[in-house]
Structure formats: structure tokens, C-alpha cells
Amino acid sequence: MFRTKSLSVLLVVKASLCFALAFASCATAPPPGGVPMAVRPDWTNDGMHEGFNRQVYLTAVGHGNSRQAAEMDAFRQLVTIFGVDVQADTRLAEAYRSGAGGVGTHSIDFGSEIILGAGMDNLIGVEIGDRWDNGRGTFSALAVLNRARATQIYSDMIRANQELIANLTTLTPMERNSFSGFSRYQFAAVVADMNASYAAVLAAVGSPMQGLRTGDDFRREAQAIATAIPIGINVTGDRAGRIQGSFAGAMTGLGFRTGGVNQRYILQVNVIVTEPQFAGGQRNIVWAQMELSASLVDTATGAALLPFYFSGREGHTNFERAENVVFNAAQRQIEAEFGNLLEDFLFQLIPGR
């Protein structure tokens, strides 16, 4: 009996020892990635990584609840080092990225893990150098940028942009003082904004570039062009200048001046208001029907550039009141749409669109 009891105890002890060893083995087993969860790399705190010397690389650490979130945070942390946040016109910035103006900035292969998303131009050449997962839902990533490689990439991009700006702004006086000249300088401003972002990267990696013009320099010149090309507005069939005022407001909202002499552009507007008769219509209701057509004409070439059309009918107790209501409707449509149409037209004048 004693022997049987001893054997049973021995078996229990042996089983317990095996269970303990198995538990210890599981506790020290590394999670996916090969890093034990109890061992947190020093680089996750300070970005100092033995594989990426600070004299050769610019580094930044990001954290998140997934690998992707940690990597994106690392990219964001690296961008903050550059210290520039250019707020360019979104549509013009996208035109720049798509290669308008004759330069496809992102057509060059800069590396294996390159971020080319909108608004992240200053991450070209950045890679994820290391990752860590603690096995409990916390991830870390190290973003790295080789200083010498970044100097070459961003210097080349700035030089290409400088050539683009020169091509955009080398104009004769007649070319300059036109809608096309205005659009070209507006686009040059966005390219200069991009250069400011790229120059910030060069400064961060220790290779500053001086003497670059700012985007605001070109915006001021674009505004000077806008005021140098007054636009005439000729309206037939207007009432107390209401239609003319609405078109003028849309143009001045974009920085252009209306009136003046030697007008390069004239908006020709024709307004016709009639009183239509409807068989079986509502009793005591009088209608006013408006047909409005407008065309923006380049006096230098005679070309019709931008058509605009409004048609509407409004009713009231008498024709005068009905006419007033239909004029109100026309003004609302002009104020809501014409400025956007003119802006779209100017956007299309950017070279390469």
C-alpha cells in the first residue's frame, strides 16, 4: 500500500513538474515577430536604434493598436520634425501631384516603401525600419529617412519645381495680364508652397536650401494681374442694375475688378422678360418668364470663353411683382453658380490640364 501511495505521489509530482515546465515555456515563448513580450526595445522610447545611426538617419517612433496605426503614427511624428504645414489650395495641390505643368513629380521610383498620399509629399523616401509587438495589442514602428538619400531626392524635386515655376511665369506682358497669366501664377504659388515643404525636409536632414520664393509672393503677383485686367459687364434688359451687380459680385469675389477702360474681357448679358399666357391657369396669378444668356468674351481674340444661362418663371398677383420675383431667382442662381463656373474655367487654364 505504501509503495502504491509513493508511486502515486511520484506521478503527481512528475506531472506537476511537467506542467510547470510547459507553463514556463509558454510564458517565455516570443510572440509573432520573434521579440519576447517582456522585452521592450529601447528604440520604442527614444528612436535610438543600433541599426540606424542618427548621423546617417532621421528617425521617429509611432505607436498604435495595430501595425498600420503604429506605422502611420511614426510617419506623422517624422513630419512634425520638419516643422512645416503648407495650407495650399486643395484642388491646385492635387493638380500638382497629378503632373500638371509638365512635371510628373511622383513618376520616379524613390524606394520600396514610399508614401505618396495626398498631403504627404514630404514622406517620399521614408521607410519603416523596425517594428515591435508586445503581444497584448500595442504596436510600435520606427520611421527612418536616410539623410544623404533625402538630400538628393528633395534637392532634385526642388530643382524640377524651380524649372516649372520659371516656365509658368515667363510670359509676355499680354500673356501675363490675362486669365491664363492669373491661373499660371496661382499654380506657381502652389508649386512654391511644395518647395517650402521640401526645403523643410532638407533643413531637418542638415542640408538647408536658401533663396526660394514663397507661395505668397506668387499669390500677390496673381492678385496684381487680376486687378490689371478689368472686366466689362454689359447687360441689356436689366432692372436697376440688379443682374449686373450679381455678376460683378461673383467676379470681385475671385479678386477681379469690373469696369474701367481698355477691358480685356467683357461679359455680354441679354435679359428678356415676358408675360406668358396659360390656358386654364390659376386665377388671379400673373406670370413673368425670364430668359437670360451671358457670354464672357476675350476682346483680344474675339473668343467666347464662358457661357451662362438662366431660364425661370415666377407668378404673383401682378406682372411687376412677378417680374421682381423672377429677377430675385436669377440673382440667386448667378451668385450661387457663376463664381464657381469662372473658377473652374480658370483651373482648366493651368498647363497640362
Q: Are residues 253 and 204 in the same domain?
A: no
- The per-residue DSSP string of 283-315 comes to TT-EEEEEEEEEEEEETTT--EEEEEEEEEEEE
CATH number of the domain at 240, please.
Answer: 3.30.160.150
Q: In 10 A of CB 148, how many CB atoms?
A: 12
Assess if residue 213 is contained within a domain: yes
Please name the residues in contact with 9: beta carbons below 8 A apart, sequence gap of 6 or more.
Answer: none
Q: Are residues 138 and 237 in the same domain?
A: no
Cβ-defined contacts of 305-312 (< 8 Å, 24+): 305/179, 305/265, 305/345, 306/341, 306/342, 306/345, 308/334, 308/337, 308/338, 308/341, 310/334
Q: Are residues 235 and 313 in the same domain?
A: yes
Q: Measured in whole angstroms, how far is the alpha carbon of residue 75 from the centre of its chain?
A: 18
Longest CA pairwise span in the chain (Å): 123
Please name the residues in contact with 217: beta carbons below 8 A apart, sequence gap of 6 or more.
Answer: 189, 192
Amino acid at 307: P
Assess if residue 85 is contained within a domain: yes
C-alpha cell at position 11: 506521478
State the residue for C-alpha cell 524640377.
160
C-alpha cell at position 236: 441689356
3-state class (DSSP) for residue 119: coil
Q: Are residues 236 and 280 in the same domain?
A: yes
Q: Are residues 319 and 255 in the same domain?
A: yes
Assess if residue 335 is contained within a domain: yes
Cβ(111)–Cβ(92) under 8 Å? no
Please say whether the dihedral angle defined by the alpha carbons of residues 104, 107, 108 and 114, taken in this order, is positive or negative.
Answer: positive
What is the rounded distance in angstroms from the CA atom of residue 115 to the CA atom of residue 125? 8
Q: Are residues 198 and 134 in the same domain?
A: no
3-state class (DSSP) for residue 140: strand
CA-closest candidate to residue 186, choices 259, 95, 120: 95
pLDDT of residue 104: 43
3-state class (DSSP) for residue 341: helix
Residue 105 burial by Cβ neighbours in a 10 Å radius (0-12, 13-18, 19+): buried
User: In what order do the strands lie in the sheet containing 139-146?
Assistant: 57-64, 139-146, 127-133
Q: Are residues 206 and 272 in the same domain?
A: no
Assess if residue 244 is contained within a domain: yes
Please say whether the dihedral angle defined by the alpha carbons of residues 245, 251, 252 and 258, taken in this order, is positive or negative.
Answer: negative
Among 224, 248, 264, the domain-final residue is 224
Q: In 10 A of CB 226, how many CB atoms?
A: 22
Q: Are residues 177 and 120 in the same domain?
A: no
> What SS3 string covers 215-280?
HHHHHHHHHHHHHHCCEEEEEECCCCCHHHHHHHHHHHCCCCCECCCCCCEEEEEEEEEECCCCCC
Assess if residue 18 is contained within a domain: no
When computed from its CA atoms, the radius of gyration of the chain, rounded to whole angstroms, is: 34
pTM for this one?
0.77
Q: Are residues 176 and 166 in the same domain?
A: yes
Among 195, 224, 253, the domain-final residue is 224
Q: Are residues 121 and 52 in the same domain?
A: yes
Q: Are residues 201 and 287 in the same domain?
A: no
Assess if residue 25 is contained within a domain: no
pLDDT of residue 94: 76
Assess if residue 245 is contained within a domain: yes
CATH number of the domain at 113, please.
Answer: 3.10.28.20
Assess if residue 353 is contained within a domain: no
pLDDT of residue 203: 93
The stretches in the chain having pLDDT less than 50 are 1-36, 103-119
* Range(s) of the domain holding residue 114: 43-89+105-148
Residue 192 burial by Cβ neighbours in a 10 Å radius (0-12, 13-18, 19+): buried
What is the rounded distance in angstroms from the CA atom of residue 333 to the CA atom of residue 152? 51
Among 202, 224, 246, the domain-final residue is 224
State the total domains in the chain. Answer: 3
Q: Are residues 271 and 301 in the same domain?
A: yes
Q: Which one-letter DSSP state was computed for residue 214?
A: P
